A and B are shown apart, each in its own frame.
Chain A
Amino acid sequence: MKHLLSTHDLSREDAVRILDTAEQMAAVGTREIKKLPALRGRTVVNLFYEDSTRTRISFEAAAKRLSADVINFAAKGSSVSKGESLKDTAQTLEAIGADAVVLRHWASGAPARLAATDWINAAVVNAGDGTHEHPTQALLDAFTLRRHWSRVRGIESTGADLDGMRVVIVGDVLHSRVARSNLWLLRTLGAEVTLVAPPTLLPVGADAWPCAISFDLDETLSTGPDAVMMLRVQAERMNAAFFPSVAEYSRRWGFDDVRLAALDEHGFEHTAILHPGPMNRGFEISSGAADSKRALVLEQVANGVSVRMAVLYLLLSGDN
């Protein structure tokens, strides 16, 4: 592995390897000295064209725990106000001696572009690109789900996959890089996936995806899935008439207290709730659901650092 650009082309072997490595990184996180010398003398640049404090600090903590030098580069330049070009920025980072570039970009495919061109030799990690992919989020979700699923099955999580697990992803699939990355990775790891969304928030062409599609959240929940992943819904989507109102969206596709209670009534004790954050409480997820013991939201955050350590370590070690 030279770059991590998507989960679409990640093999099962590599995915399990990342998750297994992340297990060892997680163990380091429980020690008094939470630092490893593996990336001493290496430079990791967090190049962010889009604000995301959560993702940046997660990558920053990961790189620092591996003893890498970290440079945070908040590049201004939206589609409206063009700043320095990606090419010029990349060449600058190359001159500085970056070994890895963690790229967050509003444009789908920007990390792929960086990896394919000769602008820079560094390893490229996609930290979320447009509405394309967010592979480290999917890996930390898979890590969290694997621990959950291993507990349910009573097996060791290291080396395991998600064979037979049933996962539901709910919300704005159309604009969600998290949904795409999760779908590919969950399938690679053997899980079954159902997408639940308003028809306007599913991309044309999704019918060819390796998953079931439903417009009815209650019906899907009544099948007792092993995990439900709620996606963040950007409020501005409402202005583009993807759905009539926030209230109607919440009623039909939000994880509210009624739906939480229904899981209990059905006796689905293993159904976990995930959310990539930041949550719109009261919109796509109720506080009752977000704070319930089914919720793995904080585990996701903690696992994020371990998974990103694993990714940086695997990309920056060995001959590439």
Chain B
Amino acid sequence: MSSADSNEKPSGTSVSTTSRTVLTGSDIERVLTRIAYEIIEANKGTQDLILLGIPTRGYPLARRIAQRIAATDPQLDADALVGQLDVTMYRDDLRHGTSRTPSPTRIPGASIDGKVVVLVDDVLYSGRTIRAALDALADLGRPRIVRLAVLVDRGHRELPIRADHVGKNLPTATSEKVRVHLQETDAVDGERVNEVVIEGAA
């Protein structure tokens, strides 16, 4: 649940908020296409490439990126590129908040050994989720290279972690909340939507 990274403040408080859209559905499409090309460029192709999405929203983003990468090469199967990496059991805040039910971890192919693993998440914030993901990855095998792709980097890092591929750098205040809505996981007022919005105290 990487979205918790962007929502560490409890939601549902009754203070009135302002909300502005920073990425529309088509913005998201465009930046994911760019990230897909950047990944191919950085890897000098698609050799040994694996995309691991971090639940909940990292996984659909990883799938969308994988589809774009696969579109560049008829030999490639998007499903064979993408998997999911659950980091719940590696988090450093397990004692706090509500206890979290872990999600499945699925690795495409036999192993991550020697592979180039691109971790995909929606929002990069403190960096703690990615720290947990690196530990989770180490228990699964030994990748040759690990890279990080995020839809939004909102700053305020608490660990020495940076993303290799960023959809949009978004300067925010810590009091603000960055909400990512994807049609695979989210509905707003019953509508499946794709958007990134910033909410802040009015």
Q: B-contacting residues of A (Cβ < 8 Å)? A: 1, 17, 20-21, 23-25, 27, 31-33, 35-38, 66, 158, 313-314, 316-319
Q: Which of B99-107, B146-154, B182-190 contacts A (4 or more CB under 8 A)?
A: B99-107
- List residues of chain A with CB within 8 A of the CB of B98: 318-319
User: Which of A32, A313, A319 is B97 in contact with, Cβ under 8 Å?
Assistant: A319
The answer on a CB contact under 8 Å between B104 and A31 is: no
The answer on a CB contact under 8 Å between A318 and B104 is: no
User: Which of B89, B99, B103, B104 is A36 in contact with, Cβ under 8 Å?
Assistant: B89
Q: A-contacting residues of B (Cβ < 8 Å)? A: 86, 88-90, 94-105, 135, 139-141
Name the distance in Å between A187's Cβ and chain B's nearest Cβ.
23
The answer on a CB contact under 8 Å between B94 and A24 is: no
- Pairs A–B under 8 Å by Cβ, sample size 19: A21-B102, A23-B104, A25-B102, A27-B104, A27-B105, A31-B140, A33-B139, A37-B89, A37-B135, A38-B89, A313-B89, A317-B94, A317-B95, A317-B99, A318-B95, A318-B97, A318-B98, A319-B95, A319-B97
Q: Which of A23, A25, A31 counts the most chain B CB atoms within 10 A?
A: A31
How far apart sit A314 and B94, CA to CA, in the bound complex (Å)? 10
How far apart sit A211 and B135, CA to CA, in the bound complex (Å)? 47
- List residues of chain B with CB within 8 A of the CB of A35: 139
Q: Whose C-beta in chain B lies nearest to the C-beta of A36?
A: B89
Known: A24-B104, A319-B97. 5 other contacts (CB 8 A): A20-B101, A25-B102, A31-B139, A38-B89, A318-B96
The answer on a CB contact under 8 Å between B94 and A318 is: yes
The answer on a CB contact under 8 Å between A314 and B89 is: no
How far apart sit A318 and B100, CA to CA, in the bound complex (Å)? 8
User: Which of B90, B102, B139, B141 is A24 in contact with, Cβ under 8 Å?
Assistant: B102
How far apart sit A36 and B96, CA to CA, in the bound complex (Å)? 18
Name the distance in Å between B87's Cβ and chain A's nearest Cβ.
11
- List residues of chain B with CB within 8 A of the CB of A20: 101
- List residues of chain A with CB within 8 A of the CB of B99: 1, 313-314, 317-318
The answer on a CB contact under 8 Å between B101 and A319 is: no
* Given A17-B101, A21-B102, A158-B104, A38-B94 contact (CB < 8 Å): yes
- List residues of chain A with CB within 8 A of the CB of B140: 31, 33
User: Which of B90, B97, B101, B141 is A37 in contact with, Cβ under 8 Å?
Assistant: B90
How far apart sit A279 and B104, CA to CA, in the bound complex (Å)? 34
- List residues of chain A with CB within 8 A of the CB of B139: 31, 33, 35-36
How far apart sit A33 and B140, CA to CA, in the bound complex (Å)? 7
The answer on a CB contact under 8 Å between B101 and A21 is: yes
User: Which 6 interchain pairs have the tightest Cβ spacing?
Assistant: A318-B99, A317-B99, A24-B102, A38-B89, A317-B94, A36-B89
How far apart sit A17 and B103, CA to CA, in the bound complex (Å)? 11
How far apart sit A314 and B102, CA to CA, in the bound complex (Å)? 10
Name the distance in Å between A157's Cβ and chain B's nearest Cβ.
12
How far apart sit A24 and B105, CA to CA, in the bound complex (Å)? 8
Name the distance in Å between A27's Cβ and chain B's nearest Cβ.
7
Q: Whose C-beta in chain B lies nearest to the C-beta of A37?
A: B90
Q: Which of B94, B135, B141 counts the most chain A CB atoms within 10 A?
A: B94
The answer on a CB contact under 8 Å between B96 and A24 is: no
- List residues of chain B with CB within 8 A of the CB of A316: 94-95
Name the distance in Å between A309's Cβ and chain B's nearest Cβ.
10
- List residues of chain A with CB within 8 A of the CB of B88: 38
Q: Whose C-beta in chain A lies nearest to the C-beta of B98?
A: A318
- List residues of chain A with CB within 8 A of the CB of B101: 17, 20-21, 314
- List residues of chain A with CB within 8 A of the CB of B104: 23-24, 27, 158
- List residues of chain B with CB within 8 A of the CB of A313: 89, 99
